[in-house]
Each structure stands twice: as C-alpha cells, then as structure tokens.
Amino acid sequence: MTATKSDTPRNLSLCRSHQQEWKQSEYDTKNCDYCELERQLNDTRRLLAEASKDAERWNALLNCKRIRVLGHAGFNKDQIGYRHIGLELWTRHQAETTGNARELITEFADAAIKERS
C-alpha cells in the first residue's frame, strides 16, 4: 500500500525511510516521530511480555498441585516487623493443598510489595 502526502499524520517528523512512505521531505531518523513511536511501542510490547510471563509464573506457583506450609511468622496478630513463610511445593502430587497456603502466599507477596514501595 502506497501512502500519499494527504495520508501523512499531521505534526510528525519522519525519517528518510518513512518520508518515502509518506512522500515527504527528508528527515533524520533521530528526529523521526514515527520511529520514536515504533520504539515506544516495541518497548511497551517487551514490558507487556515480561509482565505476562511474571503473571504466568505467579499463577503457576499458586496453582501447584500441592503446597505445604512448614511454618510462618508475622501474619495476623503475631506481627514481628517482618513476615516469614516456609513452604514445600510440588508440581505433581497425589494429595491436594490443604489449609490456607495460597492465602498466606498471596498475603506474603502483598506485604513484600508494600515494603518495597
């Protein structure tokens, strides 16, 4: 598809490759608004892919076949200034997770996020 000058987005500085596309005068790629938008879009795609992978990992952790809590501290009324949790995790196991393991992990992660802020 060939773009015409009338198709050119207004107020955009374009590099040589894009100016040929849009049939405009020459511009340097450092000042090409279209190239900058492409860079920003690629950065956004990369960050979204990383966030998606993080979410996939979190879901995999919380949905392990079995989670066994070995012990914990700093939750509920026994506030000690930090939180600690000991876990055993299985990807495959005959027994299911029992108790509040997933809730403890989520509460721990939420507390860790809050402390980082």
pLDDT tens-place string over residues 49-59 = 999 999 999 99
Q: What pLDDT score does 44 carry?
A: 96
- Do 25 and 54 fall within a single domain? yes
Range of the domain at 34: 5-59
Closest C-alpha to 87, from 97, 74, 77: 97
Q: Report the amino acid identity of residue 14.
A: L
- Do 70 and 107 fall within a single domain? yes
- Do 91 and 47 fall within a single domain? no
- Do 70 and 112 fall within a single domain? yes
Who contacts 96 (Cβ-Cβ below 8 Å, separation ≥6)?
65, 66
- Do 70 and 48 fall within a single domain? no
* Termini Cα distance of the chain: 48
- Do 10 and 53 fall within a single domain? yes
- Do 83 and 40 fall within a single domain? no
- Do 94 and 54 fall within a single domain? no
Q: Has residue 3 got a pLDDT over 60? A: no
- How many folded domains does the chain comprise? 2
Q: What pLDDT score does 50 carry?
A: 97
